[in-house]
Chain A
């Protein structure tokens, strides 16, 4: 069965810390995505990547960066975590022009 694995289900970090959220897929998919989900706002796209070492900004990239050094891994980086980045973070992958597979999510709390 295809899998997208997010390294942590729950994470608590302090304001100002550098935070790494890791996502690994085992399906050899070209495309990978990072979303955040907040009540009333739905899913919002942060960054996505169509190939290794490529990245594209989504709708809300401010305060975030990404890294894709290998095809299977897409990392989301919070350079200096702030309380307004407390959220559910969801990673997804897909082959080109096909459906998405999501990971189980990381609930990040910044205190």
Chain B
């Protein structure tokens, strides 16, 4: 059974710092991997979707990478801002159109 882990559970950084959020998964037979952002009390907003054939995706200050063989993905946030404070979740899509498997997220605080 696929398991997705995000470590650390919480992270606090000063404004302007570049940072990396980690996601690991146990079964490398994935179809895609998706990163989400969640603000308190709100739904999830999709940030980036990486197909299994891709190595990375970029959107603005965000860059997500995927290494299927090692079962890892990272979300890189450049020049962090207080507005980046949120919980970031990764989710793995497996072959066969089965539901995404979610990690529990990393709660990020960017301090001004």
- What are the 7 closest A-B residue pairs judged by CB atoms, nearest first? A42-B104, A99-B49, A102-B44, A104-B43, A102-B43, A105-B43, A43-B102
| Closest chain A residue to B91, Cβ basis | A100
Q: A90-B43, A90-B44, A105-B43 are in contact. Are A100 and B105 (CB under 8 A)?
A: no
Residues of A within 8 A of B (CB): 6, 31, 33, 40, 42-43, 45, 48, 50, 58, 88, 90, 92, 96-105, 107
- Inside 8 A of B31's CB, which chain A residues have their CB? 97
Tell me if B83 counts as interface (CB < 8 A to partner A).
Answer: no
**Whole-angstrom CA separation of A33 from B102 in the bound complex:** 13
Q: Do most interface residues of chain B lie in helix, strand or loop, or is the interface mixed?
A: strand
If A31-B97, A97-B93, A105-B43 are given as contacts, then 8 extra A-B residue pairs at C-beta distance below 8 Å, sorted by A number, are A33-B99, A42-B105, A90-B44, A97-B97, A98-B32, A99-B49, A102-B36, A102-B44
Contacts A50-B97, A100-B46 given; does A42 touch B32 at CB 8 Å: no
The A/B interface has a contact count, at CB < 8 Å, of: 48
B42 sits at the interface (CB 8 A): yes
Interface size class of B (residues with CB under 8 A): 20 to 34
State whether A48 and B99 are in contact (beta carbons under 8 Å apart), knowing that A99-B49, A100-B34 are contacts in the complex.
Answer: yes
Residues of B within 8 A of A (CB): 31-32, 34, 36, 41-46, 49, 89, 91, 93, 97, 99-100, 102-105
Query: B46's closest neighbor in chain A, by CB?
Result: A99
